Structure 1
């Protein structure tokens, strides 16, 4: 269902919260994702923000593809509470990222 690795999502969460990479590097990381990964990252953030329910993930994903009119990194970096939204989205989708989180600690 989710076509982006939990490790990549955790990487964005960690870096947007901890800022060990500069903002430019995080933008470059997000922009280096393929189009599917970018759409899934956006859809996960929307689920976490409450714009869509977990059961509406496919609709969120379709919307992410259809409304991708600004660079994904620019859009996501402008989203208040990006890290929290991504965490909540993964949790709502039932994705366990415990192992991926340990890699960043």
Structure 2
């Protein structure tokens, strides 16, 4: 299997994951954090969530990124904030893509 080229740092994804778990308490910080990402990072973050949600298979990750870039019609922070189970989707997406988040989670805590 070819490893997907994930072009967002794992610690950034974990940061969003933790903010998403905070629900309304982390909403403002989540919006500010995601808005500060560059377009490629936003697309990769969205693609990871889609893989975790099952909308794309891990081997179709590149297509998910292309789709996220092409279909970004609203701010990514707005889109992701409205996604049910965002934290779980990101966690499942990272796992499906073979990304070990244990160190990033430890660093975040």
- Please tell me the TM-score bracket, short chain as reference: over 0.9
Number of equivalenced pairs: 105
Whole-angstrom distance in 1 between the partners of 2:91 and 2:35:
20
Give the CA RMSD over aligned residues. 1.3
Query: What aligned pairs does 1:1-105 form with structure 2 within 5 A after superposition?
Result: 1-18=5-22, 22-105=26-109
Q: What is the TM-score of this pair, normalised by structure 1?
A: 0.95
Whole-angstrom distance in 2 between the partners of 1:72 and 1:31:
7
Structure 1 moving runs of 4+ over 6 Å: none
Q: CA deviation at 1:90?
A: 0.3
Q: What is the TM-score of this pair, normalised by structure 2?
A: 0.92
Q: Residues 96 and 85 (structure 1 numbering): CA distance in 2 closer, same or farther, change over 3 Å? A: same
8 Å Cα contact 2:46/2:68 also seen in 1 = yes
Unaligned runs of 5+ in 2: none
Whole-angstrom distance in 1 between the partners of 2:105 and 2:71:
30
Unaligned runs of 5+ in 1: none
Q: CA deviation at 1:20?
A: 9.2
Q: CA deviation at 1:103?
A: 1.6
